[in-house]
Structure 1
Amino acid sequence: MIAVLGECVADAFTDRAAGGAAAGGLALRVLPGGGPANTAVALARLGTPARFLGRISGDVFGGLFREHLTSSGVDLSASVAAGEPSTLAVAALDADGRAEYTFYADGTADWQWTPYELDPGRLGPVACLHTGSLALVREPGREAVAEFARAASRRATISIDPNVRPSLAAKDDYQVARWCEWTDILKLSADDLDFLLPGTPMEHACDTWHAAGARLIVITRGADGALVSLDGARAAVPAPEVDVVDTVGAGDSFTAGLLHDLGARGLLGGRLDDLDLETAVAAATFAARVSALTCSVAGANPPWAHRLRTD
């Protein structure tokens, strides 16, 4: 079992085929998203039992999230029924299918975690906790999330994805070096790195975060693949060729693929003591396939396990 702690976000995309645009308005197609929720869905579809710890609103978007998560096989028993509204993100896609988001996030459900809600018993018997993204940087709940993850590190592997959103959080909010004190796996994108440590070579950034405590660091680079760094030993992983529809959820699916493969090898549940670079590269190669398949369809719609057996 892998637990994922974080947000659900309603991703709204312009739908020019809908009637609203013809009537002089702007029609939006809303899909369930949010980095942590996407990762939980991808894990479950790959066959890893996944538990989602989220604050899910009772509004119409919250209903969309629940249906999406449960239909993918995600366990919601540890989630909180929240009274606040859901977070909304309106996405604009560029020519390469990359999304730029405008967020409507003030006072929404995802950031209101309290220490009471994040009692250690909520985690349950899991081998790994994955968190990060906005729930780890947004007030008022970020300290409760960080403390919960730190406490969980005593009995589970911890995975973090900063999933940087500059429009919603400042650079100082992403306390990556502090997180690495209790994090085993740090996954981030090259864009995240450019924001967090501008002008810093990837290898130097990896060494900085290894020194802070993280054992496995993976930096995804889009069409250029990924860099895998295990305790300073490094290797490159190529990206599979794919016809890209959009890249929404690609990084979240990569994280799920990485954790799924490591879990299937029995390597989660501790400090990755038995992990070697060759195995880490194999896990990242599998993750790149999962991510590529996500890019081949619209929205954050990660593949089911059978697609990886047939594609």
Structure 2
Amino acid sequence: MRFVVCGEALIDLMPEEQISPAESRWIARSGGGPFNTATALAKLGEDVEFLGRLSTDSFGRQLRSHLTTAGVKLDLAVATDEATSVAVVSLDAEGKANYFFHFDQTSNFNWRKDEFPVIAAEDWLHFGSIGSVIGPGAKHILDFVRSTEAAVSFDINVRPSTLPDRAEYFGLVSDLMTAVGRNGGIVKASDEDIAWLVDDDSDPLAYAEAWAEEFGLAMFIVTLGPDGAAAVKPDGRVIRVPGHSVGVIDTVGAGDTFMAGFLSAYAADPDDVAGALDRGTAAAAIVCTRKGAQPPTAAEVDAFLAI
């Protein structure tokens, strides 16, 4: 199966060293939710095309090199002279990442209708994150998802700083879930994503069940941080796996890598949802032990699960 991953590629500026009160050193890491998922799928040995808008600037060349080195194909990627988007990353005491974005007039958000290909029904389209809800191009992504005959998965990946209005954000996400449910697709969110969207941190699985039924999804996947992950079916069945205890360096790319691990396994055996969830949580745990989004290979995931 070929995976087509649609969405943003950007630069994560991450703090490295405070040199003096007036000077600090930062590192520019390749990132973006769909970018990370595409890279992770390729590292797991999958056939992957990245459908994104890549700048011709120096950061764009870095992103392109990162993808091709990982084994991601760029036949569907769009070249643009607009500047690469940048996210400034801060880490709390537990390594959890927070983001502030610089997006104005940058590459990821000005999709045009004619930049989207027709992909085969035998392909798998994965999309999500900021580019699917922000900017003038978001409506074209929605139309693309509505029109495809491929299997579809959507990672909500909420970033409140980009659109603080919860009602507006949820309205856009609802439109996308409706499009995904048109042919029984899969939606994924973290427990924190759900809590923010509904302004309620009581029980994310109850919302997952309601949305799976309302939007006609095959399942709604909820990642639960160190507590693992769960897939909720529209009939209320819950398939849950525990998390893995690791020494966390940072959480950058954890959710994106989880989705790659899950999709890789699920596409190979759709009947083993628990096994796919377990590979997703294992891949995410591994990436949390590394600086930035550095996803594991299939052999590394196998070795981790064998411990």
TM-score (norm 2): 0.91
Q: CA deviation at 1:83?
A: 1.1
Identify which of 213, 216, 224 aligns with 2:216.
213
Q: Which amino acid aligns with 1:180?
A: M
Please give the residue correspondences for 1:7-156 in structure 2 after superposition, counting only pairs within 5 Å: 7-16=8-17, 21-22=19-20, 24-118=22-116, 120-121=117-118, 123=119, 126-152=122-148, 155-156=149-150
State whether residues 224 and 238 of structure 1, in contact with CA within 8 Å, keep that contact through their aligned partners in structure 2: yes
In the alignment, the residues of structure 2 paired with residue 15 and residue 176 of structure 1 have an alpha-carbon distance, to the nearest angstrom, of: 34
Asked if 1:295 corresponds to 2:292, the answer is no
Q: Cα RMSD between the aligned structures?
A: 1.6
What is the alpha-carbon distance in structure 2 between the residues aligned to residue 305 and residue 22 of structure 1? 42
Q: How far did residue 220 of structure 1 move?
A: 0.6
Instruction: List per-residue Cα deviations over 1:113-140 (Å, max 9, x = no partner).
Output: 011112x43x357521011111111121
Give the match for residue 271 of structure 1: none
Residue in 2 that maps onto 1:272: none
In the alignment, structure 1 segments of 5+ residues that lack a partner are 268-274
Q: Percent of pairs identical after alignment?
A: 35
- Aligned to 1:307, which of 291, 300, 304? 300
CA drift of 1:164 comes to 0.6
Alpha carbons 2:17, 2:25 under 8 Å: kept: yes
| Residue in structure 1 matched with residue 187 of structure 2 by the alignment | 186
Structure 1 window deviating more from structure 2 (210-219 vs 5-14): it is 210-219
Which consecutive aligned stretches of 4+ in structure 1 deviate over 4 angstroms post-superposition? none
SS of residue matched to 1:181: helix
Q: Kindly report which structure 2 residues correspond to 1:227-306, keeping only aligned pairs within 5 A, or say none.
A: 227-231=230-234, 232-265=236-269, 267=270, 275=271, 279-306=272-299
Code of the aligned partner of 2:224: R
TM-score (norm 1): 0.90
Structure 1 residue 176: deviation in Å?
2.9
Question: Structure 2: which amino acid aligns with 1:179?
Answer: L
Displacement after TM superposition at 1:261 (Å) = 0.4
Q: Secondary structure at the match of 2:90?
A: strand
Q: Matches of 2:12 and 2:232 in 1, distance apart?
A: 32
Task: Compare 47-56 and 163-172 and name the one that shifted more.
Answer: 163-172
**Total equivalences in the alignment:** 293
